[in-house]
Every structure is written in C-alpha cells, then in structure tokens.
C-alpha cells in the first residue's frame, strides 16, 4: 500500500509542463513497430506500467526492443519472425494491451495463454472474442471466453464485415489488427467516432487501410515498413492539469506538445462550453497525429450536459470532469457513459463515492453522473479503487479542499503517469 496524505494547498498553479507520451499511441507504436520490417525508433514513449506490458509481450515473442527512458528501438523482422512464447503472457492492468493483442494473437501461427491482474480478469473480453471467433479464431477461457485467462490457438483468419455493437476503440482496433493478418478484406463500421490511433499508425507504417466516415477497411499487406515515431503528450494525462488550472483561483498553466487528435479532444470542447479561459497554439502534425500547446487559466465556469457523440472522445477524462463540475455553478449531467462501469473499476460508483466523501453533491445514474455545483470540498479519507484515474482525480481535488485528503494507495498512478506528483510539484507555486 502506498498511502498519500495531501494537505490543503495555498498555492496557485503556474508554469509549463510537458506531460508523458500518449498511452494509446505508445501501445500501438510497440505493436505495429514489432510487426514491421526494419528498425522503428520511438521517442516520447510512455514507459508506464501498461505500455511496458505490451513491450514485454513482444519481447516474449522474440522481438528485440531496447528501452531507455522514453525511447524505444524496436528491431522488427516482420510477422513471420515472431516466436511462440514459452510462458503465459501477463497483461497486468492493461485493457488496451489485452484487447488489441487478442486481435493479433488470434492471427499469429502459434499458441498463447494470456492473463491479467484481478481488475483486468473481471473486464469483458467477449466484445473482442466474439468478432474474432466470427473470423474463425480459436480462443477459449472462463465464461465461454469472456474473461482472462484466455488461450489462443493462432491461425489464418477470414475477413469480416463487422458493425461494432459497442462504441469502443479497443474493439475496433482488435478487429482491424486481426484484419491485417486475415486472408481477405475486413471492414468495421462504427456507431460514432472513437479514437483512431490504430488507423493512423497503420497508415504511417504503410498498411493497406482506408477510412470513409464510420467505415474502415483493411487488407493484409505482406509487409509493413519501419518508421520513426514521436508520441504526442497524452491529453488524458494533461486533463488533470487542465482541470486543476481551471479550478484553482489565480492559476495559469501551459501544457506543451499535447495530442490534439479530434477523436480525443472532448475535454477541450467541454471546457470551452463551460466558458474556460483556454487557448491552443503551435499546432503541428507528427507521425499522422496532431499536437500543440494548450494554455489555460482560472475563470468562473458554468455547468453543461455531456452526452452522445462526445462521450468516446473524453471517456477516460470523466472522473476529472466530474471533479471540475463540483467547482462550477449549476447542475452538470453526464449520460450515455455506461462504459465507465467496465473500466479498471466501476468509475461511476468510484467517482461518486470519492467526491461525496470529500463533501461534493452528486449522484450516480445507470449510465452517468449528475453533479450539483458549486460545492466546497472538505477533505477526508478516500480509496483510489486501485484505479490510476481515480487516484489522480483525488489528488487534484486536494488542491481545492479545505482539509487533508488521504488517498489509501496511489501506486496505480504508475499505470499511466509515473511522474504525476513530480510534474504537479513543478507548477505549484
Ligand atoms: O483504444 C484505446 O487505446 C483505448 C480506448 C478506450 O477504451 P474502450 O475502447 O474500451 O472505450 C479507453 O478507455 C482506453 O483507456 C484506451
Ligand atoms: C481505461 C483505461 O485503460 P485500459 O482500458 O487500457 O485499461 C484508462 O487508461 O483509463
């Protein structure tokens, strides 16, 4: 247990931060770089626990991946060079590793067993196993293949025409990655746009993939070509400081080189709707991904309703947005977000528990949260639920709380943002 007691802060937030690389893009760089021919150099890689699970998975299949701080050198020799791992592969807490790797392992010509920590072992895998089985994959495990541990007997897959029943980039990506290895075209159709980093990364490595509105088609191209990848800062990590600067009076913070892919910028839209004092500058494109700097200062904000197509564009930011909503005038309604119930923990229940313990006024609905602002946060002892995003939300809440906030265990923060407390310290003045 790594308990952390945070005292009420008298400080404003000012200065600059460059948040670590994007978690979703880091996973994809490792996966696709490992399949390509040649040397892929990855810079500004997120070496948090989740992305290191993906690195270790490919190392166990014979890929040489050198890791130094935030750089990777991946020596890809193509799919044919991958070897059957000798041991079961451990995915830890990482849903993205599990779901995307299932798509790949289903098409690799060998046998694997995969498992995860207690949280991951409770998260549904049928959403990827079911379309993969329709592609002829051989996967078995608990709950008819719905829960880790799973075993996969890889083989040549058939293409599929798949309409996604869940608004999930992980499911879309698993089917596309399986499609990369299949013997005919695969097409996925989304209900609404979800993050498109798999498509962008595959395109950058030369895959035969096209997107038209909600449809994406991929065909097996025998060889992908290694490239150099710079990973933009993770907007899901930047979100904690965007909200901190917005709610702590007197603050003004610049976040540099943050990923601004439109499939991820729902939090920017929400902050703008609430009346935030925020600007985006220095926009540029790197390895197919838009990035730029964001400056944000404190100002009085008002409530809003968050629903529909924006939800997948800010799904991981909902805990910190809920904290934001406790500090703005009016009632904020978040709906259509039932997916939160199957994340690292049930994030609807966790957010309501943590913030109400700290004195906020909010309630859970089946698919969201209603937050009645504006409330003064007191302080108290809260659980992180071993969920990195809940732990970081509670830490940011302490900046506006009147008393100490004690978080039972902050070790999960290393999943997505190992330097979170150091970075926070650099802007507390
Ligand atoms: O594809 C990805 O990298 C991710 C997709 C989202 O999950 P879902 O696809 O389950 O919505 C998100 O919550 C997760 O943190 C990362
Ligand atoms: C849900 C998350 O990740 P994953 O699904 O990869 O565990 C997250 O990072 O908030």
Mean pLDDT of 146-161: 98
| Residue 184 and residue 122 in one domain | yes
> In the prediction, which pLDDT does 416 show?
98
- From 230, 245, 260, the end of a domain falls on 230
What kind and span of H or E run contains 363? strand 362-365
- Of residues 372, 373, 306, 374, the one with CA closest to residue 340: 306
Total of domains in the chain: 2
Residues 6+ apart with CB under 8 A from 80: none
Which residue numbers belong to the known binding site? Answer: 23-24, 28, 95, 123, 168, 170, 316, 343, 347, 389
The ipTM, to two decimals, is 0.99
Whether 182 and 307 share a structural domain: no
386 and 419 share one domain = yes
Two tokens, residue 166: 């869940």
CA distance linking residue 36 with residue 27, whole number of Å: 15
- Domain final position from 197, 230, 263: 230
On whether both 279 and 417 belong to a single domain, the answer is: yes
DSSP per position, 32-94: HHHHSEEEEEEES---SHHHHHHHHHHHTTT-EEEEETTEEEEEEE-GGG----SSPEE-TT-
Per-residue pLDDT tens over the stretch 302-329:
999 999 999 999 999 999 999 999 999 9
User: Domain check: are 192 and 259 in the same one?
Assistant: no
Q: 306 and 216, same structural domain?
A: no
Kindly state whether residues 215 and 244 are assigned to the same domain: no
| pLDDT per position as a tens digit, 334-354 | 999 999 999 999 999 999 999
Last residue within a domain, chosen from 206, 230, 254: 230
Residue 221 is predicted with a pLDDT of: 82
- 277-307 pLDDT per residue, tens: 999 999 999 988 999 999 999 999 999 999 9
Q: Number of helices (H) and strands (E) in the chain: give both, helices first.
A: 13, 23
pLDDT at 47: 96
- Helix segments in 295-346, DSSP class H: 318-326
Peptide bond into 149 cis (omega under 30): yes
338 lines ligand 1 (CB under 6 A): no
pLDDT for the residue numbered 350: 99
- Residue 328's contacts (CB-CB under 8 Å, 6 or more residues apart) are 274, 300, 301, 302, 303, 373, 374
* pLDDT at residue number 263: 98
Is 397 within 8 Å of 390 (Cβ atoms)?
no
- Residue 111, CB half-sphere, CA atoms under 13 Å: how many? 4
291 and 383 belong to one structural domain: yes
- CATH of residue 48's domain is 3.65.10.10
Query: What is d(CA 350, CA 424) in angstroms, rounded to the nearest whole number?
Result: 23
Is pLDDT of 1 > 80? no
Q: Note the pTM of the prediction, 2 decimals.
A: 0.98
92 lines ligand 2 (CB under 6 A): no
Average predicted confidence (pLDDT) for the chain: 97
Starting from the CA of residue 94, give the closest ligand. Answer: 2
**Ligand 1 pocket: which of 91, 96, 97 to mutate (most atoms within 8 A of CB):** 96
Atom of ligand 2 nearest to the CA of 389: 10
Q: What is the pLDDT of residue 429?
A: 87
Please give the Cα distance from 306 to 312 (Å, whole number): 11
Q: Which domain holds residue 387?
A: 4-20+232-427
Tell me, yes or no, whether 188 and 335 share the same domain.
no
**Could you tell me which of 196, 198, 293, 301 has the C-alpha nearest to residue 247?**
301
pLDDT digits (tens, 9 = 90+) for 223-250: 999 999 999 999 999 999 999 999 999 9
Q: Which whole number is the average pLDDT over 117-141?
A: 98
The 10s digit of each residue's pLDDT in 193-207 is 999 999 999 999 999
Note whether 338 and 254 are same-domain residues. yes
Does one domain contain both 196 and 49? yes
* Active-site residue flag, 228: no
Residue 76, pLDDT > 80, answer yes
Do 415 and 300 belong together in one domain? yes
Burial of 68 (0-12, 13-18, 19+ CB in 10 A): exposed
Distance from C-alpha of 407 to C-alpha of 167, rounded to nearest angstrom: 32
């Amino acid at each position: 247990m790594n308990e952390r007691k945070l005292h009420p802060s008298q400080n404003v937030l000012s200065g600059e931060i460059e948040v670590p690389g994007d978690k979703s893009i880091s996973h994809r760089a490792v996966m696709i770089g490992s399949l390509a021919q040649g040397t892929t150099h990855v810079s500004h890689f997120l070496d948090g626990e989740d992305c290191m699970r993906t690195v270790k998975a490919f190392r166990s299949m014979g890929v040489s991946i050198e890791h130094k701080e935030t750089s990777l050198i991946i020596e890809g020799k193509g799919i044919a060079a991958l070897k059957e791992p000798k041991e079961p592969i451990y995915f830890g807490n990482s849903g993205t590793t599990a779901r995307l790797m299932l798509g790949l392992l289903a098409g690799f010509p060998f046998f694997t067993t995969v498992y995860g920590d207690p949280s991951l072992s409770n998260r549904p895998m049928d959403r990827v196993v079911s379309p993969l089985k329709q592609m002829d994959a051989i996967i078995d495990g608990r709950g008819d293949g719905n829960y880790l541990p799973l075993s996969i007997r890889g083989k040549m897959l058939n293409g599929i025409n798949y309409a996604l029943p869940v608004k999930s980039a992980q499911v879309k990506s698993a089917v596309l990655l399986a499609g990369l290895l299949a013997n005919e075209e695969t097409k996925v159709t989304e209900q609404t746009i979800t993050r498109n980093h798999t498509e962008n990364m595959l395109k950058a490595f030369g895959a035969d993939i096209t997107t038209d509105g909600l449809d994406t088609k991929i065909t097996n191209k025998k060889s992908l070509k290694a490239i150099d990848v710079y990973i933009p800062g993770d907007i899901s990590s930047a979100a904690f400081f965007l909200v901190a600067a917005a709610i702590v009076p007197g603050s003004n913070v610049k976040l540099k080189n943050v990923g601004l892919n439109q499939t991820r910028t729902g939090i920017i839209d929400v902050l703008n709707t609430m009346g935030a004092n925020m600007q985006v500058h220095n926009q540029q494109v790197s390895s197919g991904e838009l990035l730029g700097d964001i400056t944000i200062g404190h100002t009085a904000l008002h409530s809003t309703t968050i629903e529909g197509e924006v939800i997948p564009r800010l799904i991981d930011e909902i805990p910190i947005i809920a904290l934001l909503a406790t500090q703005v005038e009016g009632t904020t309604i978040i709906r259509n977000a039932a997916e939160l119930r199957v994340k690292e923990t049930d994030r609807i229940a966790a957010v309501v528990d943590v913030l109400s313990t700290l004195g906020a006024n909010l309630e859970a609905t089946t698919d969201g949260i209603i937050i009645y602002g504006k409330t003064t946060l007191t302080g108290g002892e809260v659980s992180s639920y071993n969920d990195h995003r809940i732990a970081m939300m509670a830490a940011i809440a302490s900046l506006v709380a009147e008393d100490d906030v004690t978080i039972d265990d902050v070790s999960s923060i290393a999943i997505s943002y190992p330097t979170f407390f150091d970075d926070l310290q650099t802007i507390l003045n």
